Structure 1
Amino acid sequence: MKRRTIFSLVITVIVVVILLAVATLAWAGNIPSEGSTAATQRSGAVVANGAECAEIGARILRLNGSAADAAIATLFCEGVTCPQSMGLGGGFLLTIYDHQNRTVETLNARETAPAASERSMLSAAKARGDDTRGLTVAVPGELKGYWELHQRYGKLEWATLVQPTVELCERGHLVTPYLSRILQRVEQQLYAEPSMREVFINPATNRTWQEGDTIKRMRLAESLRIVAKEGVDTLYSRNGTLLRMLMKDLKAFGSIIKEEDFLNYRPRWEAPDTVELKSGVEVHSITIPGSGTIQNFMLRVLDGYEDMAPKDPLTWHRIVESMKFAYGLRTRIGDPVYTPEARGVIQNLTDPQFASYVREQLIDDEQTHNDFAYYGAKFADVEDKGTAHVCVLAPNGDAVSATSTINYLLGAKIRSQSTGIILNDEMDDFSTPGTVNTYGLPASPANFITPQKIPLSSMTPTIVTDANGTVRMVLGGAGGSRITSATAVMIFRHFVFGDDLNAIMSEKRLHHQLAPMWLDYEAGFDQSILDGLTKKGHQVKEKDLMLDLRRPPESCRMAR
């Protein structure tokens, strides 16, 4: 028995999105790439959460827009049709691939802690019984990130990317079954808050809008017109039109965000975390404080095995153990710019030798362990909440994978009535000093609030390329902490085992995030594998993991 501690030392292009709700694929049709003939045409694709937004992205590709252009236009739209998950009041993580130059970059435009923030401010305010909604708002980075992306990779005029969503706001968007359920879940909170009531409560019924209803966002349409005309300066420069309006509302809600927080906001362009698998593909994803590095650590561990069979319980034991080590180490990390002490752990996560050490010395093929410390967990993890994901593949072979968030359902559940922007509650994703979770683990200092710091996130916008530089997969997801395990297993099964994606997506799934110390499985998961895992000491628990995976062309909407 190995008892040590973790610290003793487009052939076919697949565009995938892992979502709580159903993803919609819009094909842009056969679009000639620059300088190509009809014989060398490629198809572009856009995957989004709804038909309206996927169509907007596809339309941008048909106008010969870049992958970045299509992603920006789609994200603007998603901020309207998926208000529960994202919008201009939030932030995003993105991975982009430049096919011609064979380069990958990531863009971190996540929300940051205000300059006036203090690590214990939320717990102190709650102890006083204060309304903390305004305090939970972090400095939004969404619009600044779009602008940075467009400046570097855009082709079409900025206003062209904004205008379709202006029109959507004015004519209204349909309430999906998923959005309807979300609104019903938080109906009392929406009704009690005037800024949210005027958008999400039907005045004729005094209830939330229902499936099939249409929601118009007239105030947001006016703000987007200003964004189209003035660009990023409207929100991130002194005396910007939208900044002046938004600051008044933030102050009224009790936020500590100041004008200087917007003026000093800078998205981060960074190199990706890349792992090359034995099959020859390279997996490119976002670094910490995103979780692409956590995803790729799991792949580094699993790819080193030589004796793995898809239906063997031992294989799934190893997969689950890789999850437990990944999530255990995650409790020790935070934004490396503001958490120097976390850099050593991050270095280990990206080190192939450390992955080999975990695989060969720590993962026990005979049994699992129920000791948090064995897997490196010294602190409690904060579970982040909802997101929305967009995938784009352009006809020239470029690709974008982007995940955006305002954190919990409808963020802080407050809305700037002057601008129409729904505000995030991202400060709740930081750890709180002095707290201990139900498993006896204290809060992680690496994720404590620090001015301008970005909270830890489970988002994993990922692009997979082959040895020829062809995009083989674009993927990401929504669903909080389950994103990371779901994307890692999908990549591993497809590119290591060669499993068909339809089979992967139709089969039930497993998830283990270490705390709680049990293995979640979906009803219908292979019982022989579960029996084998139970024999190795895993505590299993049936749970609806609520992840829906879609790929073209089985469940898609055609846009030509």
Structure 2
Amino acid sequence: MHRRTFLSALPAGALTAGAMAASAAQARQTSPTAKPTEAAPAPARPDPYAGVGIGDRITGPKFMGRSTVWGANGAAATAHPAASLIGIDTLRRGGSAIDAAIAINAALGFLEPVANGIGGDAYCMLWDPKQKKVVGLNGSGASPQGLSLETARSKAIDGYLPRYGAVTVNVPGTVDAWWSAHQRYGKLPWKDVLLPVAELCEQGVPMPQVIAYYLERNMAAFDRGQIPIEENDNRKRIWAAGGATPKVGEVFANPYLGKTLRMIAEGGRDAFYEGPIADQIEAYFKRIGGWMTRADLAAHHTEWVEPIQTNYRGVDVFGLGPNTQGLSTNQILNICEQFDLKSMGFQSAASLHVQAEAKRLAFEDRARWFADDRFSKTPVEWLNSKAYAAERAKLIRPDRVMDRVMPDDAPHHGDTTYFSVADSDGMMVSWIQSNYRGMGSGLAPDNGSEPLGFMFQDRGELFALTDGHPNVYAPGKRPFQTIIPGFAVKDGEPWMAFGVMGGAMQPQGQAQIIINMVDYGLEPQAAGDAPRWQHYGSSEPTGQPQEGTGVLHLESGVPEATKAQLRAMGWTLGEPDGGFGGYQNVMKQMNPGGRWTYGAATEMRKDGIALAY
């Protein structure tokens, strides 16, 4: 099962050295479609802390790493402390939750370059307190008009698009998503949202542990050069000046991005899509032999969309439809609802078995149907229905893993940032933004003399190249996207703006959060700290087929008795591999007297913090 799609589902460097070597070896032996893999690094050193568990808390579950943060006026949960701080500061200056979200996202493009930036795409769901409803935003960009299917196929490796380089670059949708959201929901002037972030880029901040780890390994992956990248100097100048990436605790600055953000602050979205930055992007791709043009950028516009909805045991769960995988979260929950998970027991083999089998069923539909709905219509209503879920659930055997799963029996990948933010007016924002795999395409544009401070996404890798496939590449088409925000409503009130970043882990992780809270009564921080599972080996929207029953990876906190029972059911279990995602959540709690408070939780597997006031 350790094929290209498994490896690409993790951030670069997420595997231990030994696991990387084993994965590469097994990929060569078992997968005829596997792409060339990088040389395995040296064997990992023994862990001096092996066998040592976490400390004891006086209250709450023992696996819970910290308390949920509570506040009455606003909250922010992000993957970097400085981003959470800038979000809270924006709220305190009178900004809306959308103002804070834009500032957070702009800051994370500097602070967490391994996961996101203005060269990527963005999606959002938010609670509009005036309309009293969940609103969706699709900020994904399309492929260049000048890149034909024939040319794309000529760049393929073993029948699939490569992971890096100009052929993977689509129009970045993030800046226009900011602009569209601000035009509708912003309170502060546009400049006042972005200029503090530009100053932060220029001043610099100390590098945290997890981001430093991924930055070093992502840059090394680009440098190994098995997949040609048309231009490499700009990324090195930004993130490896002097020949090395910043170490933990060292101050890192990106004045190039600061200048670019100042241009966007002054000129709005047009500076990026129709002005000087667009001209510089076109000149860059013309010089290196790429396809993106100023016309491609100018044609891009964010789309406001109606989220899809299901109800899981009284909780309304919302997701964005194709070209995202939000429907997969709904399908997993719809199938799980057919079983009494609560009586099976938390972290029991029976419960995890049902959840993982539901994932396998949902992901075959994902591979078969999900694509840009402007080119191919997905039968969303049927796939999202309780009737379909009931028929699919009948395929799950209580004592044995299903031998094979097919789509429609009844008539992955990526580095991403996710954050939640809420304000005193009751607006709650669930925002996700990504460059995709390992920082993106490897290509960082310049203005002819210096870099612009960001890298282009490589989302185009997720197109299929097979004639007739809904997700087959076409000029001006949006690829299948893994990034999905999450949102839940209870009793007509917004309940959670939440998400779990990380490629194909996202719907699996979102479903686990909902199940942990609804079925097992966990509060937001404990729901994220609980041990997670992730299944690899399903079919992919790129056209890659499933690999038997795949591999079910479990975090080390899953009870040993559960693991033994899952093996007895026929599951192939994998060791913890660092690919279990990154979680943020802001929950609204209604209190006596009608006054609400916000509970904010963050991912203990990342560098971030949750703040509320």
Q: How does 1:301-320 map to 2 (within 5 A)?
A: 301-306=335-340, 308-311=343-346, 312-320=348-356
Q: Deviations over 1:19-77 (max 9, x none)?
A: x8xx99998x96xxxxxxxxxxx331111111111111111111221111111111111
Q: Distance in 2 between matches of 1:397 and 1:24?
A: 25
Whether the 8 Å contact between 2:281 and 2:292 is mirrored in structure 1 is no
Aligned to 1:170: 202
Aligned to 2:365: 329
Worse overlay, 484-493 or 249-258: 249-258
Q: Deviations over 1:142-161 (max 9, x none)?
A: 11111011111111111111
Distance 1:539 1:197, change over 3 A: closer
Aligned to 2:45: none
| 1:133 aligned residue (159, 165, 182) | 165
Distance 1:127 1:61, change over 3 A: closer
Q: Deviations over 1:447-497 (max 9, x none)?
A: 21122222222222111121141x322211222111210111110221133
What displacement does 1:249 show? 1.1
What displacement does 1:539 show? 2.2
1:77 equivalenced with 2:111 (yes/no): no
1:347 equivalenced with 2:402 (yes/no): no
| Matched residue type, 2:470 | A
Q: Distance in 2 between matches of 1:26 and 1:157?
A: 32
| Matched residue type, 1:135 | V
Helix, strand or coil at the partner of 2:439:
coil
Aligned to 2:446: 417
Distance 1:396 1:127, change over 3 A: closer
Q: Deviations over 1:209-268 (max 9, x none)?
A: 21222222222222211111111111223xx12211221112222221122111111211
Q: Distance in 1 between matches of 2:345 and 2:578?
A: 21
Aligned to 1:476: 499
What displacement does 1:120 show? 4.4
Q: Distance in 2 between matches of 1:310 and 1:24?
A: 23
Worse overlay, 523-532 or 42-51: 523-532
Aligned to 1:5: none
| 1:66 aligned residue (91, 96, 117) | 96
| 2:396 aligned residue (363, 387, 390) | 363
Worse overlay, 108-117 or 361-370: 361-370
Aligned to 2:420: 391
Q: Distance in 2 between matches of 1:558 and 1:334?
A: 36
What displacement does 1:559 show? 7.0
Helix, strand or coil at the partner of 2:420:
strand
Q: Distance in 1 between matches of 2:398 and 2:269?
A: 54
What displacement does 1:503 show? 4.2
| 1:271 aligned residue (280, 295, 306) | 306
Instruction: Figure out how many residues of one structure are paired with residues of the other and give that number.
Output: 504
Distance 1:464 1:146, change over 3 A: same
Helix, strand or coil at the partner of 2:177:
helix
Distance 1:120 1:180, change over 3 A: farther
| Matched residue type, 1:510 | W
Distance 1:131 1:349, change over 3 A: closer
Helix, strand or coil at the partner of 1:520:
strand
Aligned to 1:9: none
| Matched residue type, 2:83 | C
Q: How does 1:105-504 map to 2 (within 5 A)?
A: 105-125=135-155, 133-188=165-220, 189=222, 193-203=232-242, 206-237=243-274, 240-278=275-313, 280-306=314-340, 308-311=343-346, 312-340=348-376, 342-344=377-379, 346-359=380-393, 361-373=394-406, 383-418=412-447, 419-433=452-466, 445-469=469-493, 471-504=494-527
Unaligned runs of 5+ in 2: 1-13, 15-64, 225-230, 539-545, 586-599
Aligned to 1:439: none
Unaligned runs of 5+ in 1: 1-19, 31-41, 378-382, 435-443
Aligned to 1:56: 86
1:508 equivalenced with 2:541 (yes/no): no
Aligned to 1:44: 74
Whether the 8 Å contact between 1:219 and 1:417 is mirrored in structure 2 is no
Q: Distance in 2 between matches of 1:357 and 1:130?
A: 37
Whether the 8 Å contact between 1:25 and 1:558 is mirrored in structure 2 is no
Whether the 8 Å contact between 1:25 and 1:557 is mirrored in structure 2 is no
Helix, strand or coil at the partner of 1:366:
coil
What displacement does 1:195 show? 0.7
Q: Deviations over 1:329-371 (max 9, x none)?
A: 111123242443x523x33321121111112x32222322222
Distance 1:103 1:549, change over 3 A: closer
- Pairwise CA RMSD: 2.9
Whether the 8 Å contact between 1:174 and 1:214 is mirrored in structure 2 is yes
Aligned to 2:34: none
Helix, strand or coil at the partner of 1:530:
helix
What displacement does 1:202 show? 3.4
Q: Distance in 2 between matches of 1:486 and 1:162?
A: 31
Distance 1:117 1:107, change over 3 A: same
Helix, strand or coil at the partner of 2:431:
strand
Aligned to 2:30: none
Q: Distance in 2 between matches of 1:163 and 1:460?
A: 28
Q: Deviations over 1:101-150 (max 9, x none)?
A: 21111111113111122234334135799997122211111111110111
Q: Deviations over 1:409-462 (max 9, x none)?
A: 12111211223332112211212338xxxxxxxxx8222112222222222211
1:536 equivalenced with 2:569 (yes/no): yes
1:93 equivalenced with 2:123 (yes/no): yes
Q: Distance in 1 between matches of 2:340 and 2:268?
A: 53
Aligned to 2:542: none
